[in-house]
Structure 1
Amino acid sequence: MSKLDRHMCALAPLPSEAVDWIELIPVGAFKTADSRDTMTLDDPEGVIARSLAIAPGNVLPIDFDHRSYRAPFDTRAAGWINGLKREGKRVMASVEWTDAGRAALADRSYRFLSPVFKTDRLTRQVTLIEGAGLVNTPALPQLRQLASKENDMDPFEKISGMLGLKADDPDAVEARITALLSGETQLASVIQASGIEGDDSVRQICARLGQASATPDPSQYVPMAMFKDTQRQLASIRTELDGNKVDDAIEVARAAGKITPGMEDWARQLASKDLAAFQSYVESAPVVLSGGRVIEGKPDPKPQALSAEERQICSQMGLSEETFLATRNAERKEN
């Protein structure tokens, strides 16, 4: 026959008033803040049925500081558990409180509920619930952290805990705070620009956007840092693609004899600023050949006036028509 170990450890916080149902013990694997190994409650329904069936009067006692089990012995009850049920990842207890128990909750003399239960020594499975006690020493790590809020605590540990981060990773804490401050600044700017006033500014903004509530759907949004990073990547890709288009357009114009080597710097500036204007110029420009000749049927390569397309280019590049004309004729003379 398997040997059983009895455990007493505060696993749930107490409410500030005597409510009918309170949390008693977790379902599944749980570990206390002391050196005890991980324990498991995998069959809550079976444990509940067995515990109530063998309890005297089918009720389980709640005492003070577990003094029913250790000196100085005191078997007075703070309440009686007359029902147990599984609720998600926990076992809940229906409690009929005594006057002494109600008073202890009301004046906050006790802060935690410590179940008394037995586990199989080999498997560490919870096999029986014997009752509970009102105590002030929590055994779950999460409850230890909750209790420590009322004591002196390193401010950095408090901040990191509130952010859900570890205190031994200051870089992560700093990054998270920076992101939050950035988000606050952006929200403040939106509120100011919107002319919204009042404590419910977020709700008002969401209402203006046609949303049903102030709680955003996480599937519809991404973190600001991710959004900005994506913007940077897209800008880089767009710059690279635009550069390739400019190179291609200049290569096409060069191959068609529409620009000379001396015109390439000017052509690149124009194409980078307005690719469509450069392509329009290339379509209407004469084809310059070696020796300064042009293809038959094309205009004289050295006209003394600018075409409409060339005047448009001058306007876009901020050049005077005289400068453009002199530069163009000089380039053609060289060829």
Structure 2
Amino acid sequence: MNKIPENIEAGSEIEVQISPFGSFVNTDDEGEKRSQVCDRAALDAVAAAFDTPVLVDFDHASEDGESTEAAAWVESLRVDDELGLMGRFRFTDKGAEAAKFRRYRFISPVWNTDGEDRPIKLLRVGLTNRPQIPVKPLINSVRKHNPPEGVPETTKENPKMDKLKELLGLAADASDEDVLAAVTALKGEVEAAKAEKADAEAEAFANANCETEEEKEALKNAFKASAETAKALVNAFRKAKRAEGDIPKKPLVNSIGATPKLKAAKSASDVRAEMAALPPAERAAYFKAHASEF
């Protein structure tokens, strides 16, 4: 049993067993029985994911938003070959007093798990008198609870977040900060791609409508500011030039599709060559139809 030592003073740093190795059954808020697997690989992952001191509260009060007063802080984690997950606790005055005078005798971890209910990250720890290892995010004491607003429970309970992490190429246990950073970076890439596309379109428009580099640069900047305005200016300029006779109007072809090309007249030698290529039985009819071209 992960019991709290009793010889504690305020500021004391004491190593406490957080979870032994094994599988522990618990019932979550929805009445579902879940078996939490705390093997060596899982506890190694929890220890490796530790990156900041973890709150130790009183009877999981912070889970219900009642109080975030600290009984202690978990300063570091390690995995012991025999005892399992161990944490170095630095106790506050109230936490030391509660343990010293046996108001609380045990501890209960709160952690996120993967899809197989294997712990992946320690979130908080509670001093408790009703220890039981397993729940969701897995508060390991016998109590109903609602996690605080904004705190993800398990990857199993956040399918949309899981999918987002997958699309962003993040690990399943990535933090909210990791997701936010990845989304921000992706947004930056999208904005950069849009800017590059707009610059290419502006440059192509300027090259097609200007001759000097100075004119191209001015029109390019105008196009980037407002494509519609730049196009209207170019069209107005062309109309003015046409009115002055500087730019000839293009011929209008009143047919749907490509502009038809005039068929070139065949020479006599071409006609004779075509007739020679025909079977003998068809040559007389061909000659009659093309007699004027010989």
Could you say which TM-score interval applies, normalised by the shorter chain? 0.3 to 0.5
TM-score using structure 2 length: 0.39
Q: Which has the higher helix share?
A: 1
TM-score using structure 1 length: 0.34
